[in-house]
Amino acid sequence: MSDQKETPVPDQQTTTLGELAKTVRSKNAGTDRITFDIIFADRATYDHVRTSGALTRRTVRELFDVTDERITDFVEFDPAFAIKFTLQRTSPSGGPGERDVFGCQQYPPLLSVPVPLPSTTGATH
């Protein structure tokens, strides 16, 4: 997971996931998985990102250069205003060649994912 692709720079019509989320983190989910949490401060922001299509299984595949089979979970968790997903590691935590034993350094590419700005026409998501 260290050879992640660069995400596009947001334009004047977008913001970033890092600007909108209260928390973006990654961490171990056992010895063979890393889980990612994107948590929002309020329902409106969560709903906007969720319905914008900015963060999907496809986004994760492209951002982390993984196959769909390596995405073991992708969940929109309404009670916590969170989008969560889990990736299968290519080698076990602490195994030979592993560069992030705790899985906590994998989230930065998510920070620059472009998200369309909310509509100012009064429409709500």
Please state, rounded to an integer, the average pLDDT across all residues of the chain: 88
DSSP 28-61: ESSSSEEEEEEE-SSHHHHHHHHHHTSSSHHHHH
Q: What is the structure's pLDDT at 76?
A: 97
Q: Amino acid identity of 95? A: G
Helix, strand and coil content of the chain, in percent to the nearest 5, comes to 25, 25, 50
Q: What is the structure's pLDDT at 1?
A: 47
Q: Amino acid identity of 17? A: L
Give the whole-number percent of the chain exceeding pLDDT 70.
86
Residue 77 has pLDDT above 60, yes or no: yes
Residue 93 has pLDDT above 70, yes or no: yes
Q: Give the separation between CA 18 and CA 32, rounded to whole angstroms.
A: 26
The answer to whether 107 and 26 have CB atoms below 8 angstroms apart is yes
Q: What is the structure's pLDDT at 116?
A: 94
Residue 10 has pLDDT above 70, yes or no: no
Report the chain's C-alpha Rg in angstroms.
15
Residue 11 has pLDDT above 70, yes or no: no
pLDDT digits (tens, 9 = 90+) for 18-71: 999 999 999 999 889 999 999 999 999 999 999 999 999 999 999 999 999 999
